Structure 1
């Protein structure tokens, strides 16, 4: 079980607090927390923000085509619904390709259930996620100024 329970993002739009869910996805929580505490996410943009759907970030190149140097993770799918505020891992068509990219649901997206790994839920600051500039990619993407897990 992960020792981490909370992830704090300082976005350029404000603070966001995420309750981590090691009960659902222990390996993914461990990865997110380790990357956050290493400074990996600091300065990383939200490269894909679709109004009424989700905000995606976690790619150090800001292109949506890259990740960390760590190996990809095996899926940890659950029946936890993808609803507003849920944090889940992005991946390619390969279900075992999650690495560092993640998304935060801006609205209910239950069509993603059991196909993507849910690892957390926003408990405070969802209005700051809502303020992220929209686009694929946004003209001036919002960014994570600092990320830390505890």
Structure 2
């Protein structure tokens, strides 16, 4: 049994590395030579670090929960967005949905082999059909108010704690607890580069339980209906529409 356990452990490590270093079309075999990180991100991005006491106050926050319905391939996906444990991350997502940022955006990264992993989208560049697929995964939301890309801090709440940890992974903060929002199948989380505070608009759906990502990436909600739709998403499929159907009054700007 030991060799099996070792192989399973190595597979989890390879998937985690793929998540951290693969580009938009990255695969575990490409990850060893790629400089890009997480589900995806541009390694050249250097956002200003955000903390709980500084520019985070300028970001939208969700006080409570909200429900988002995405339509993909003509079928709905219902997401419960949890601002109780991830107010900034959830607020950013609900705000982008409400602005129509995700309407027409493609899923540029789908990883199901060697085992179910993630379906990732949210790069606004993908709205332009002339942008090559190889470039997708490097873009984020440009705030029209500042004409700059909006970044949000890494935000993960340890189980049993009243507030989230910001701008550090659990490993960096030496936290042994589990996160309140885990990477179970159907989790929705933010993609980022190697920099903790570099998430913008890209997100991913977990296709399976991914405990090796817990404490490193920010989960902000869960799919409550429509996982069968996600299971059938292919690279290049688009979000036809995304709407906040409940809880928009919990969004504070």
Q: Normalised by the size of structure 2, how large is the TM-score?
A: 0.55
Name the SS of the counterpart of 1:39 in structure 2. coil
Structure scoring higher RCO (CA < 8 A, sep ≥ 6) equals 1
Equivalences for 1:1-150 in 2 at 5 Å? Answer: 1-2=62-63, 4-12=65-73, 14-51=75-112, 52-62=116-126, 63-70=136-143, 71-78=150-157, 79=179, 80-133=181-234, 138=235, 141-149=236-244, 150=246
**Is the Cα–Cα contact under 8 Å of residues 87 and 103 in structure 1 kept in the other structure?**
yes
Range moving further from structure 2, 6-15 or 82-91: 6-15
Deviating runs (4+, > 4 A) in structure 1? none
**Is the Cα–Cα contact under 8 Å of residues 74 and 97 in structure 1 kept in the other structure?**
yes
**Is the Cα–Cα contact under 8 Å of residues 64 and 82 in structure 2 kept in the other structure?**
no
Q: Which runs of 5+ in 1 are unaligned?
A: none
**Is the Cα–Cα contact under 8 Å of residues 64 and 84 in structure 2 kept in the other structure?**
no
1:45 positional shift: 0.5
Number of residues paired by the alignment?
144
Q: Normalised by the size of structure 1, how large is the TM-score?
A: 0.91
Q: Which has the larger radius of gyration?
A: 2
Deviations 1:31-53 (A, max 9, x none): 11111111110000110011100
1:12 positional shift: 1.6
1:2 positional shift: 2.6
Task: Give the 3 Å change call, closer, same or farther, for CA 105–56 of structure 1 in structure 2.
Answer: same
1:109 positional shift: 1.1
